[in-house]
Structure 1
């Protein structure tokens, strides 16, 4: 077997030139008819947003902790684009009043999404093509304001805690395919460029967050799609937000005549959620999300077309057929055109400069 390659990034302060490149311009440019339509939009990232990395709730974590406040290494397996991935999450051990360990969960997912939205603002996103790093500059006040605007008010202490959990947790991603075995071990995000005193006492001090290498790779190759970030952020559950991004990213052929087939078992396995003691509770939870998607015009209708049963007539899977709403179809078509246009612009840049561009492989190594 081929020896796995381990990727571990070293971070330095972004240079001035890192804030000026074609990749940033494309990342921040959305396809809209009017400027006001840009406000609710952001980018969903290929593979990175599909991974079940925020799947353990705080309630579940409380049940898993040892009496010393520790948590075990967490494993999740997922199939993406016909590749099998195993992810291992090492919890962050915080020096808080309890000295407890934390997995990144729904709160941290909201913070990361808000940071990626801030990265679409002018002069705040950077991308270093030489060191293959990208990220965002921000202040605690700006981050709290963005979260509040999206219906998630957080105190300074709560936001700092989420940032420390994100920067203290390692995520190891393993894949095995025809090219061999690959391993990447990174932080969810990395923080640098400020003192502890500044970050705790001055809400306007500038923070620097480096995104995961999968986000950088997506920015490099335009493997991201525009979507209605604001609508996603206002959904009540983390599972609903995860599924919304999945629909926005992967159902690129949505049309009034092409229903979307959804599997309860697949959603449970890929999201790492819906593991309930009573199977009916999981079914009810997912079907409530489908009803909500109808209410916000993602689906025009949803029907349960097949119950798959196992021993003792127990339901082991349910197949649904959803008809996309015209609003969702418009969003998908705009995202399709914007991505195609961006890839063409990037290709032309490489042709003009004489540089070569390699094909994205959905893997950071």
Structure 2
């Protein structure tokens, strides 16, 4: 059996050799976690995991608090060395492409869980598959974690908008509307929402998550209820995506393929609170449950499958979640959770189908509609300039967002949309907008066209996003154009 590993002594040796103290702490912690994993294997105490091939996702059968995390590479190159290989074309002098690096909390004993992949093509369960060291430091991940910005202050407010994934109306049913739709026994119907992506008609099929109700003491009441992911879960998912751009949290494993991150609930709560969305531990845990249990399918019309979406199969909003028991958190508040993103997110990281955007501004929006509009402008208004306008129609926004379906009258929905445009002016996205109403018989409102002009700030952000994306694609050879 392996000898005990002295983390403190190893850290001291690293510092004596000239390693930065924070980096030394992180390396020592990762090495200790890897050593503990080896000890666990020797004791043949591999945790039990249950795969659900029918849903195409992995459900956790047992959560443990041992140090099971695979270690990030101890000899990982420095930030400058990693950046040297991210693009073949150097960014302009006024801006730098740099990865966000933040020191790990690095507790003495990291309590975590190892994720297991779903069954193979014949439904046979595979063995436990730890995330390999190479998944924490590779070209695709480096490009995803790097942002084009003038300084650290600008870089810290950036994240990634995912092309197809952020165009799916997946969080559009409010909690209030869910209460109206809920049937006896707490059931919700399977929801189908038709939308268009690059002129292709698609249908999002959302299956609700069924949760066990608990009392104030956290004990099960015996009742269950279903929820669709909504605004709260949208905020949680975006916060997780941003945390995945920090080293050494995020990973991209091309061999599986899969992408995601390791995180602590404290860090996630801290991130949400910093963006003005404080959540209790209970709310956050419930939101993660809904994301990991709620299903999402994408269906194409007819026999033509232009996006090749069928190859991804069915998945939950979070493809895999491994958590930590509350009693383990009491012993170690820094115990880490494991998340795998939806296959569409993984495919977008692989194909560089994402764009940097002002995540802080997005988080500060008062409502979902404003956030949706910002995401669409980031993804579609790529040539934003003060002399170049962009047009969006009320009918298109209603169809593709799903956020205006709750209004009884069109004029109420249009008023809500006008309010969202005004907020985008406040947030320095739009300099101005004009609207032209299309009316039919008896002055009935048929549609509204909005002509938008961006601010100089938003135009500059879009140019930086264009440059960053071009540099990233140039770094991947050969590059194949794809819709994902």
Secondary structure of 2:149's counterpart equals coil
How much has 1:197 moved relative to structure 2?
A: 4.3
CA distance in 2, matches of 1:199, 1:209: 18
* Unmatched segments (≥5 aa) in structure 1: 1-5, 348-355
Q: Which has the higher mean CA deviation after the structures are superposed, 182-191 or 192-201?
A: 192-201
Gaps of 5+ in 2: 1-53, 59-116, 118-128, 215-222
Instruction: Give the deviation of 1:7 after TM superposition.
Output: 9.1
Cα distance in 1 for residues equivalent to 2:335 and 2:368: 30
Tell me, yes or no, if the aligned pair for 1:138 and 1:206 is still in contact at 8 Å. yes
Partner of 1:329, secondary structure, is helix
Specify the alignment match of 1:136 in structure 2: 261
1:113-148: CA deviation from partner (whole Å, max 9, x where unpaired): 000010111111111101110001111100000000
* Distance 1:57-1:302 versus aligned 2 partners, 3 A rule: same
The higher-RCO structure (CA 8 Å, 6+ apart) is 1
Which stretch has the larger CA shift, 268-277 or 198-207? 198-207
Task: Return the alpha-carbon distance in structure 2 between the equivalents of residues 113 and 182 of structure 1.
Answer: 22
Q: What's the secondary structure of 2:419's corresponding residue?
A: helix
Structure 2 equivalent of residue 216 of structure 1: 346
Contact 1:199 1:207 in 2 (8 A): no
Q: Deviations over 1:242-267 (max 9, x none)?
A: 11111111111111111111111110
- 1:101-250 alignment, distance < 5 Å: 101-176=226-301, 178-179=304-305, 182-183=309-310, 184-197=313-326, 201=330, 203-250=333-380
1:259 aligns with 2:389: yes
Cα distance in 2, alignment partners of residues 136 and 74 from structure 1? 29
TM-score between both structures, scaled by the size of structure 2: 0.69
SS of residue matched to 1:96: strand
Q: Secondary structure at the match of 1:112?
A: helix
Give yes or no for contact 2:317–2:341 (8 Å, CA) kept in 1: yes
Q: Does 1:331 find its partner at 2:461?
A: yes
Following the alignment from structure 2 to structure 1, what is the Cα–Cα distance between the partners of residues 130 and 212? 26
1:340 alignment partner, SS class = helix
Deviations 1:272-330 (A, max 9, x none): 011201222211111111111111211111111x2122444221210011111111100
Task: Determine the C-alpha separation between the residues in 2 that align with 1:326 and 1:86.
Answer: 36
Task: Assess, with a 3 A threshold, how the Cα gap between structure 1 residues 179 and 71 changes in structure 2: closer, same or farther.
Answer: closer
Which of 243-252 and 12-21 deviates more? 12-21
Using the TM superposition, give the Cα deviation of residue 196 of structure 1 relative to its aligned residue in structure 2, in angstroms: 3.7
- What secondary structure does 1:327 align onto? helix
| Residues 270 and 208 (structure 1), Cα distance of their counterparts in 2 relative to 1, 3 Å cut | same
In 2: Cα distance, 1:88 partner to 1:326 partner: 39
The correspondence of residues 35-50 of structure 1 with structure 2, limited to 5 A, is: 35-50=152-167
From 190, 193, 202, the counterpart of 1:85: 202
Cα separation, partners in 2 of 1:18 and 1:191, compared to 1, 3 Å: same
Equivalent-residue separation in structure 2 for 1:296 and 1:167 (angstroms):
32
Identify the range of structure 1 (174-183 vs 102-111) with the bigger mean alpha-carbon deviation. 174-183
Larger Rg: 2
SS at the partner of 1:52?
Answer: coil
Pairwise CA distance, 1:179: 4.5
Instruction: From 263, 268, 288, give the equivalent of 2:419.
Output: 288
| Distance change >3 Å, CA 7–CA 161, structure 1 → 2 | closer
For the residue of structure 2 that corresponds to 1:71, the secondary structure is coil
Counterpart CA distance in 2 for 1:7 and 1:90 is 11
Classify 1:198/1:29 alpha carbon distance in 2 versus 1 (closer, same or farther; 3 Å): farther
Call closer, same or farther: CA 1:285–1:188 in 2, change over 3 Å.
same
Consecutive aligned runs of 4 or more in structure 1 exceeding 6 Å deviation: none
Does the aligned pair in 2 maintain the 1:301–1:323 contact within 8 Å? Answer: yes
Q: Using a 3 Å threshold, how does the CA distance of structure 1 residues 70 and 31 change in structure 2: closer, same or farther? A: same
Distance in 2 between the 1:271 and 1:179 partners? 22
d(CA) in 2 for partners of 1:112, 1:233: 12
Number of matched residues? 348
Which residue number corresponds to residue 300 of structure 1? Answer: 431
TM-score under structure 1 length normalisation: 0.91
1:351 aligned residue = none
